[in-house]
Amino acid sequence: DANIKSPINGIVNKRYIEVGAFVTAQGTQLFELVDVSKLKLKVNVNESQVASLKIGDNIDIKSTVFPNEKFSGKVTFIAAKADATLNFPIEIEVSNNTKNSLRAGMYGTAVFNFPKQAPSILIPRTSFVGSVSSNQVFVLDKSNNTSKVRNVVTGRILGDNVEILDGLKEGETVITSGQINLAEGTAVSIVK
């Protein structure tokens, strides 16, 4: 007979042996222990958000399962490189409440207190001549219903839309289809 003690406090989530079973000392897994007093929340943030974060920042956490309870966490990891979607993975260590209401595997939402951003102009990705990397779009010259090539500075890609940081003014009409048939000064008709 032997007594087995865990090096951590936690809850036995799975038991891989039965009472009376023979075990060896060569790393046989006996139990799966889960410590839910502190949990890890993985979140992706964009480049402007990652620039405002640092290790140790306090973050508010919301849970849809417990909407009336408040949870908090600290940033413990910030990726040095963006992923394929140009977002930066970060990890937040979430402190559970005294009742350990949160469980491993539940979803949570990180609430960041970033400085407010000014409203921005968004245009469809399909508006660009060739591709988003060309940084060129056609706008409608309303004085004579012709197309004009405009160089723009792009920001974030938000799904099917792209943020425009410079090169367009609010209220300008961007041509979103048929650019392959256009050149500077081509007459266009508006189809809605």
Q: For residue 151, tell me if it sits in a domain.
A: yes
* 19 band by pLDDT with thresholds 50, 70 and 90: confident
Helix H or strand E encompassing 50: helix 47-50
Q: What is the DSSP letter of 185?
A: T
Q: For residue 29, tell me if it sits in a domain.
A: no
Rg of the chain on CA atoms, in Å: 27
Q: For residue 136, tell me if it sits in a domain.
A: yes
What pTM value is reported for the model? 0.53
Average pLDDT over residues 165-181: 88
Q: For residue 31, tell me if it sits in a domain.
A: no
Query: Both 46 and 98 in a single domain?
Result: yes
How many separate domains does the chain show? 2
Q: Residue 122 forms beta bridges with which residues? A: 163
Domain that holds residue 160: 121-181
Q: For residue 187, tell me if it sits in a domain.
A: no
Q: For residue 73, tell me if it sits in a domain.
A: yes
User: Which residues have a Cβ under 8 Å from the Cβ of 132 and sit 6 or more positions away?
Assistant: 125, 154, 157, 162
Q: Which amino acid is at 182?
A: L
Task: Check: CB of residue 110 under 8 Å from CB of residue 41.
Answer: yes
Q: For residue 144, tell me if it sits in a domain.
A: yes
Q: How far apart are CA 133 and CA 135, in angstroms?
A: 5
- Please tell me the least confidently modeled range out of 20-34, 79-93, 174-188: 20-34
Query: Both 107 and 126 in a single domain?
Result: no
Q: Could you tell me the CATH number of the domain that includes residue 51?
A: 2.40.30.170
To the nearest whole number, what is the mean pLDDT of the chain?
A: 87
* 1 band by pLDDT with thresholds 50, 70 and 90: low
pLDDT tens for each residue of 37-76:
889 999 999 888 888 899 999 999 998 889 898 899 999 9
* 78 band by pLDDT with thresholds 50, 70 and 90: very high
- Please name which of 80, 87, 176 lies closest in space to residue 125, comparing C-alpha atoms: 176
* 117 band by pLDDT with thresholds 50, 70 and 90: low
Average pLDDT over residues 29-44: 88
